[in-house]
Structure formats: C-alpha cells, structure tokens
Amino acid sequence: MPETYLKQSAFSLEDESLPKQATVKELKQRTLFAEKHFIIQRNGVDYYKKNFETDSHEFISFADFEERKKSRKYAVKHPIIFFIGLGIILIGLLRASLLLDAHYSKSLLAGGLTISLGLFILLLYRLVQTNCFLIALEDDKRMFMLLNKPNQEDFENFLEAMYEARRRNYRENYFYVNEENDKRTELSRMKWLLNEDIITKEEYEDIVDEINLKFM
C-alpha cells in the first residue's frame, strides 16, 4: 500500500468507524458422515474436511471468495446410504432365488426380511440429508459448511467473522489510490469495492473525489 495514500487518505484500516477485528477464528463441525474444521487466517481460510471418501486440507484465499449474497443454503444427500440399501435389496433377491426350490417358505422369509431392510434404508436415504451453507468461490467453485453446526449462534458468529476478515483483507489490498494506474482503472476498482460491499457509499464518493484530484 503506497505510503503517500496512508498519510493523506481518510480511509485507514484503523478507522474507528470500522467494526473491531473479529475474535472468532475457528469453527469445528461434525455429523455422522463428515467432520469439518475452518480456521480464519489473515489472507484466507484453512479448510479441513474428513469423510468416507477423503481426509484433506485446503487453503482458500479471500481473493477467491465471491460476495456474500451469492452464498446460500444447500441440502446434500448421502449416496452411500442409497448404495447400501440397493446392495441389501440385491442380496435379498439373491438369497430368495438360491433357496426358492429347496425351501420355498424359508426363501421368501429370508429374502423378504432382507429386501425389507434394504427398502427401509432407501427410505432413510430419502429422509436423511445434510443441510449446508454453500460459500461461493470464483470459477464456479464452492466451499460447503454444515448449516448451524455445532449450533446456530456459533455458526452465524463464525460466518460473520469470516466475511468481516474478507472485508478487511480487501480493504488492505485494494482500498488505496495506486498512482501507477490510470484514472479509469482506479475508478473501476473503487466501484468494484462498492459493489462487493467492502466500502460504503460515502467512502466511495470521498475516494472518487480523491482520485479526481490526484489525476487532474
């Protein structure tokens, strides 16, 4: 960030009008099928996830985050439950066919019970879902958080802290007048910050005046 701007601008990162820096840095989430761990860093979020298929870590830069209004709730089904139910039904059909000639009544009973169990699991698949909050990233990528886990208050506090950290990061990296650029580029950049809700309308109007003065 150019030192001249820090000295002259009224938009320092230490501005008292800004919310205090978020103190919620970490969120741990768990369901029967998955574990997630999020840690807010200066330039992004460390994202750890563990489930039946993967155990991984990824760092997601705030530069990759889309604006908050593009994020939304999302319901995730669990295909593993479906395949377990389908497999049990197939086993039941196989058992019934193998025992059909020798023990007709037993084959119907054994196969029927197994098939009934499989049908129950398929019903469970229809009923069970994980409610997620989808964080929109650039290039149509997504980060999934478990909605209201471990509880609604902790989830909402972390979400607020994460987007506030993003806002501060964007202000630090983009909210200054770069005199190496041309006037049009700087005005476009400030308009982008306004559209991203990084700066207020009043801040935008003030810094536009500053740009106009610097590029006279």
- Give residue-wise pLDDT tens across range 76-134: 777 888 899 899 989 888 877 776 655 656 666 767 788 888 899 888 887 777 889 99
- C-alpha 50, offset from chain centre: 15
Q: What's the pLDDT at 59?
A: 97
The number of beta carbons lying within 10 Å of the beta carbon of residue 4 is: 12
Mean of pLDDT over the chain: 83
- Give residue-wise pLDDT tens across range 34-74: 899 999 999 999 999 998 878 999 999 999 999 898 999 98
Give per-residue burial for 154-175: e unless 16+ CB within 10 Å, then b.
bbeebbebbbbbbbbbbbeebb
Q: Report domain extents, the chain.
A: 79-127, 180-216
Beta bridge partners of 55: 50
What is the edge-to-edge ordering of all strands in the sheet holding 142-146?
72-76, 130-136, 142-146
In sequence order, which residues have a C-beta less than 8 Å from that of residue 131 and are 6 or more positions away?
A: 73, 74, 75, 76, 146, 147, 148
Q: What's the pLDDT at 52?
A: 80
Rounded distance between C-alpha atoms, residue 17 and residue 144, angstroms: 32
Q: What's the pLDDT at 6?
A: 32
Rounded distance between C-alpha atoms, residue 86 and residue 169, angstroms: 48
Tokens of 99: 């025992």
**For residues 146-151, average pLDDT:** 93
Residue 53: strand, helix, or coil: coil
Percent of the chain residues past pLDDT 70, beyond the cut = 84
Contact 71, 144 (CB under 8 A): no
pTM of the model: 0.68
Residues, the chain: 216
CA-closest candidate to residue 171, choices 5, 24, 27: 5
